[in-house]
Structure formats: structure tokens, C-alpha cells
Chain A
Amino acid sequence: MLRLNKVSSGYDPTKQILKEIDFEISNGEIIAIMGLNGSGKSTLLRTCLGLLSPLHGEVLLNNKKLLSYTPHQRAQKISLLDSQTTIAFSMTVRELLELSISLHGKKELFALALEAVGLKGFEEKNLLELSSGETRRALIAHTLCTNAEIIMIDEPFAHLDWRHQEQLAQSLKSWNKKFNTTFVLAIHELEWIIQIAHTVCALGKGKILASGSPEYVFQSQLVCELFAFQARIDENPIDGSRRLTLGRPLK
């Protein structure tokens, strides 16, 4: 379990991006972080990994200070794929996945992770020659291969076409069930939050506006005001899944 106690964080001590946040990540959950651009989603994930040290407050992993773990121990517990991760030099998909496996993962995760992101048959492809969506999916597979207890992905659906968004959403759900992996996902695509998240945390101006079930958060007045929408969650008549309908706010 990862817990943030009154954490303030940011890149510059004089500019706090997160302000006194209390946040808890329970084992086996899929948690979606939503918020407008610049609301502090990426900062929250980087603070949870320990890449950013809190300016105030403390981050606890299993009731022990996060920074008291060695990087090696921490990597077995938490893994973050941030939205800015890119490939700078030639590297095959196989090499990328094997990097995780050789350090912490299990060999059998190689095929499972590739299947989860729909990249079977891409093993020997050079990542510099793939599209941005394919590269992103390869990086997600690489992150899954770390076999960390908590996997955090900043914008998992960015660059992905609708078919692969759907596939990834289903894959993350089944990965969570099969391996009891905790997922923390910073997501802009609200329909996927409804589909896969057990808990939603809405951030606004560095503070948590609402946290709880998707139904609770999407009905929260603060969230509706910030996003300027009114939301309704019901059953999708086509396939019976949960459906999110958004409308303009009432004046």
C-alpha cells in the first residue's frame, strides 16, 4: 500500500504543484487520476515513484518511508511509465522487453505483455521505425514486464487508435485480475475511466477535488464545475458496458 500524507511537491521549492495531498493506493486496485492540463497528475505519479522528493509531508510504502527503500527494492514495488518516455537510439521491441525481464521480471511475461498490447510478431522491429502509437504500446509492454506490484502509466491511451485503446483497456483489466497488479493511470479519456477504474481521483489546481467510485466523482459538484460538464453514467445499449454521457453544464 502506498500512502501520501499531506504531501506538497513540485520541481521548484517556491512553486508547489501538489498542495498538501492525502492520497492512498490500495493493493489490487485500478486507480484513475483525472484532471485538466497542469493539474499535477504527472507530478503526483513522479512523487509516488520517488523521482520527486516531497517538499512537505511524507510518502509511505507499506508504512515505511518510500525513500528508505533502495532503488532496487523500490523497482520491485513500483514502476512508472511517464508520458515523456521516448526512444533515443535504435532498439528492438525484444531488447526493450528483455531489459525489464533481465532486471526484475519473469520470462513468461514477455509473450503475455506483447499480447496485451497487440504487438505479437513485432519482436525484432526497431522501435525507431514504429509509429508513435506502436512505440507507446511497446513501452507499456516493457513496463508490464517489470512485474512491479504497482504500475503507474501516465496517459496510457495517448497516441493509440480506438481499436488499440479498447484492447489495452481490456488487457489492463485482465492483467489486474490475473496478477493482482495495482494500476495507477493518469487518463484524459473519460470513457475509459468509467470502463476500467475501481477508484477515481480528480485533481484540480494541485488538490484532490474528489476521490471514490467513478459514479461518485462524476457527480461531484467540484469536478463538474472544473471540467464544465454534467455527466451521466448508465448502461450502453449496444454491449451492456458502462456508458458515460457528457453534456454542457446547467446555467
Chain B
Amino acid sequence: MTDSTGKTTNTINVKLLVLFFLAISAFLFSLHRGHVEISFNEIMAWLTKQNMSDESAFLISTLRFPRTLAAFIIGATLGVCGLVFQTLLRNPLAEPYTLGLSGGSCLGAVAALTFSLEPPEFWIPTLSTVGCLSATLLVLGLGRKKLSFESRSLILFGVMISLFFSAAVVAGLSILSPQKLQTALFWLLGEFGTSRDIWIKSIGPVLVAGMLIILFKSRGLDALSLGEARALSLGFSPRKERVVLILICTLLTALSVCISGLVGFVGLVSPHLARKFLKTSRHHTLVIGSAFTGAILLTLADSIARSALMTTEIPAGSISALIGAPVMIFLLLGYKNASVE
């Protein structure tokens, strides 16, 4: 789809380029920042495979790079999933976290942890996906019975489901050993820098592939943003498009949660920031924009999380919420009434 004037298209392309450079900068900044700072010269040397100190090379390859890559890709994924849910439900507050999907996923992951299921790299993603899918079916199934799919009240079902799963997770936590308890607690708050970061090597390609499929389906999202009747009148089956998109987002959320735990606000704020900055309603642009803004937000949140305190780390999820909540309030205050009814 092309925008009407070359000028508009050029402006949007320039803005996407700006976001791309900001995302790359956030990535490099995240590689640099930490209790042990790595100079940009060393980072460039590592990226171009030149000679550098063994200590820095080890630090980047085994810790900093997988962690930064995980935050970057998961941030992008949550941003894209947030955009998809906001469009499908025509609700500016929809995202995997507020719909209870992240909660369901977390319950599955904590269950795998509680029962010490081995090997964890199989059971955590599997139960996380099962939990996420159950939450999706519960929210949409319950909502569908009493409300239309696009009803703004559907988000209330999501919040209730989310609270229910959180309570179930807390109940599960009470029987954990102190060591597992800390892991599980940090999971609830969202964190990077764990042994799970390395999973991004196998999960990352799936997340990127999912985002590419969503990008490929962006025309359907354009049509669905106007509701069922218009979507069908524009040549897209609303049911089919929804099922495919929801299943993809459910899988992406589950896989993201099993690495990072519960990260709120990134999925909520990123699409709004992308809409505000890019000033377009076209989803092929918004999907890319939300991916970049999500990646920037979470990568920066994780950089702050690991370097704000000298002695310990703060969970990245709490930093993303500390940044995300005021930004969201600021954005909501700037909206016209119609968009937040």
C-alpha cells in the first residue's frame, strides 16, 4: 500500500530510519553498560572480530550479548503483540499483559519450576505456551459469551484472569525453596541476565519469524481496525485473520515470557509511541515502528536495571513499568476523548 504523496512516504521512511538508528544505539549502549563497563572501541572490535582482551570478549559473548539480544528481540515482540491486540480488540489498553496472557504464561513457567520438571529448556516453554493459550481461550471464550469481540469491557475479563493467575502463582510460590522462590519472584517482575538468556539463540528466530508473519498480514490488520463488517467488505475474513493473529501472538508471548518473565507496559506503550511518532494508521509501518520502540524501551530498561545500583540488579520489568506508566499517562492525556472512551 502506498501513501498518497511521495512526501508523506518519505517522511515516514525517514522516521523509521531514525527509529532504526535509535534501536541500534540502544543495543550498543546496552552492550556497553553494566557493573563492568565495556568501551565502544572494544564492542566494535568484538563485532568486527578484531583482537581484544580475553576478559572483555568473554564478558560480551557469554553475558552481555545474549542478554542484550534477548531484551532487544523480546521488547520488539511485545511491542508488535501489543499493536496486534490493540487493533484486533480496537482497544488502546489491550496488550498481552493486560489481557492476562502473560499471567497465564507465567503460571505455566512457574509450575514447571515448582515441580522441577527436567529438562527446564523443554518444560518451561511448553507449559508457558499451554498457560498462555489457556488464558487466551479463557479471555476470548468468556468475553465472547457475553460481549462482542470489540467490546471495551473485554479488557476487564483480561484483568480478572490476570489477577486469578497471579494469585495462583503466589500460591505456588509458597511451597518453593528459598532459592527457587527468588527465581520465581524475579520472573514475576521480569528480568534478564539469567541462564535463560541463552535460549534466545533458539527462541529468537521463532520470535522474528512470528513478527515477519504479522508484518505480512498487516493489510488484514488495517481492515480489521475498522471492525468486522468493514474487514469482510474489504476482502478479509475477520474470524480467520483473528484466529491466525491471536495464535501467533499467543505463541510469541509465551516464548518471550519463558525467557524474560512478566514484562508489563512495553506491549502497551510501544504501539502508542509508534502511532504518535510515525503519524500513520498503516500497519505495515506500525508493525515495524512498534518493534523498534519496544526493542528500544526494553533494551534501555534492562541497561538501567543492571547498572542503576552498584551492589545488585533491579528487575527489568519494574524499570519498564516505572518508565512505561508515566509515558502512558502522558500519552493518554494528549489523546482526544474518542480514542480512550
- Chain A: residues with Cβ within 8 Å of the partner, total of 37
- Whether A88 contacts B91 by the Cβ 8 Å rule is yes
Q: Please determine whether B336 and A86 come into contact, CB atoms closer than 8 angstroms.
A: no
| A128 CB within 8 Å of chain B | yes
Q: Per a CB cutoff under 8 Å, which of B225, B229, B280 touches A88?
A: B225
Q: Which one of B39-47, B52-60, B232-240 is at the interface? A: B232-240
**Distance in angstroms between the alpha carbons of A87 and B337 in the assembled complex:** 12
A80 to B235 CA separation, bound complex (whole angstroms): 11
B172 within 8 A of A: no
Question: For A88, what are the chain B residues with a Cβ–Cβ distance below 8 Å?
Answer: 90-92, 225, 339
> Is A38 at the interface (CB under 8 A from chain B)?
no
* A94 and B223 contact, Cβ closer than 8 Å, known pairs A88-B90, A148-B233: no
Q: Flag if A71 contacts B229 (CB, 8 Å).
A: no
How far apart sit A88 and B237, CA to CA, in the bound complex (Å)? 20
Using CB atoms, name the residue of chain B closest to A92: B281
Known: A89-B92, A103-B219, A103-B235. 17 other contacts (CB 8 A): A71-B237, A75-B234, A79-B234, A81-B233, A82-B227, A85-B229, A88-B92, A88-B339, A89-B87, A89-B281, A92-B281, A94-B4, A102-B2, A103-B234, A104-B235, A123-B4, A143-B233
Contact: B230 with A95, CB < 8 Å? no
Report which residue of B90, B91, B229 has the largest number of chain A beta carbons within 10 angstroms of its beta carbon.
B229
Can you list 12 pairs linking A and B with CB atoms under 8 Å apart?
A46-B229, A49-B233, A76-B235, A79-B233, A88-B225, A88-B339, A89-B86, A89-B275, A98-B1, A99-B234, A102-B2, A128-B338
SS of B interface (majority) = loop
Minimum C-beta distance from A249 to chain B (A): 36
A100 surroundings in chain B (CB, below 8 A): 234
CB distance from B232 to the nearest CB of A (A): 6
For window 89-104 of B, CB contacts with A under 8 Å fall at 90-92
Give the residue of B223, B237, B238, B275 whose beta carbon is less than 8 angstroms from that of A103: B223
Alpha-carbon separation in the docked complex, A71 to B229 (Å): 11
Q: What is the chain B residue whose CB lies nearest that of A107? A: B4
Q: Given A49-B229, A146-B233, answer yes or no on A99-B223 (Cβ-Cβ < 8 Å).
A: yes
Q: Within 8 Å of chain B (Cβ to Cβ): is A78?
A: yes
Do the beta carbons of A49 and B232 come within 8 Å of each other? yes
Per-residue A-contact encoding for B322-341, CB less than 8 Å = 1, 0 else: 00000000000001101100
Chain A proximity of B137: nearest CB distance (Å): 21
Interface string of B214-253 (1 = CB under 8 A from A): 0000010011011111101111111000000000000000
Q: Is the interface of A mostly helix, strand, loop or mixed?
A: mixed
Do B232 and A104 touch across chains, with their CB atoms under 8 A apart?
Answer: no
List chain A positions with a Cβ less than 8 A from chain B.
46, 49-51, 71-72, 74-76, 78-82, 84-92, 94-95, 98-100, 102-104, 123, 128-129, 143, 146, 148
A168 CB, min distance to chain B CBs, angstroms = 19
Give A82 to B150 CA distance when docked, in angstroms: 14
> Could you say which residues of chain A place their CB within 8 Å of the CB of B230?
80-81, 85
- Check if B91 sits within 8 Å of A80, measured CB to CB: no
B33 at the interface (CB under 8 A from A): no
**Interfacial residues of chain B within 104-155, with CB under 8 A of chain A in the complex:** none
- The answer for the CA separation of A88 and B152 in the assembled complex, in Å, is 11
Q: Are A85 and B226 in contact (CB under 8 A)?
A: yes
B279: chain A residues at CB < 8 Å are 90
Q: How far is the CB of A35 from chain B (nearest CB, A)?
A: 19
Best-surrounded residue of A88, A104, A143 (most CB of chain B within 10 A): A88
**Is B339 touching A128 in the complex (CB atoms < 8 A)?**
yes
**Chain B residues with CB under 8 A of A103:** 219, 223, 234-235
Contacting residues, chain A, for B223 (C-beta < 8 A): 99, 103
State A237–B234 Cα separation when bound (angstroms).
Answer: 43
> Known contacts A86-B227, A98-B1, A103-B223; is A91 also within 8 Å of B281 by CB?
yes
Contact A51 B92 (CB under 8 A): no
The CA-CA distance from A106 to B270 in the complex, in Å, is 34
The smallest C-beta distance from B240 to any residue of chain A, in angstroms, reads 8
Residues of A within 8 A of B86 (CB): 89
* Residue of chain A at shortest CB distance from B226: A85
For residue A113, give the distance in angstroms from its CB to the closest CB of chain B.
Answer: 14
| Chain B residue nearest to A82 in the complex (CB) | B229
The verdict on B180 contacting chain A, using a C-beta distance below 8 Å, is: no
**Which residues on B sit within 8 Å (CB–CB) of A143?**
233
For the complex, give the distance between the alpha carbons of A88 and B221 in Å.
13
A76–B2 CA distance with the chains assembled, in angstroms? 20
Q: What is the CA–CA distance of A148 and B230 in the complex, to the nearest angstrom?
A: 12
Nearest residue (CB) in A for B336 is A128
Chain B residues lying within 8 Å of A123, measured Cβ to Cβ, are 4
Residues in B with CB closer than 8 Å to A79 are 233-234
> Are A129 and B235 in touch, CB under 8 angstroms?
no
Return chain B residues, CB-CB under 8 Å to A128: 335-336, 338-339
Which B residue sits closest to A84, measured CB to CB?
Answer: B227
Complex contact B229–A75 (CB within 8 A): no
Q: Which of B1-15 contact A (CB under 8 A)?
A: 1-4
Q: Are A74 and B275 in contact (CB under 8 A)?
A: no
Closest chain A residue to B236, Cβ basis: A71
Residues on A with beta carbons closer than 8 Å to the beta carbon of B229: 46, 49, 51, 80-82, 84-85
Residues of B within 8 A of A89 (CB): 86-87, 90, 92, 225, 275, 281, 339
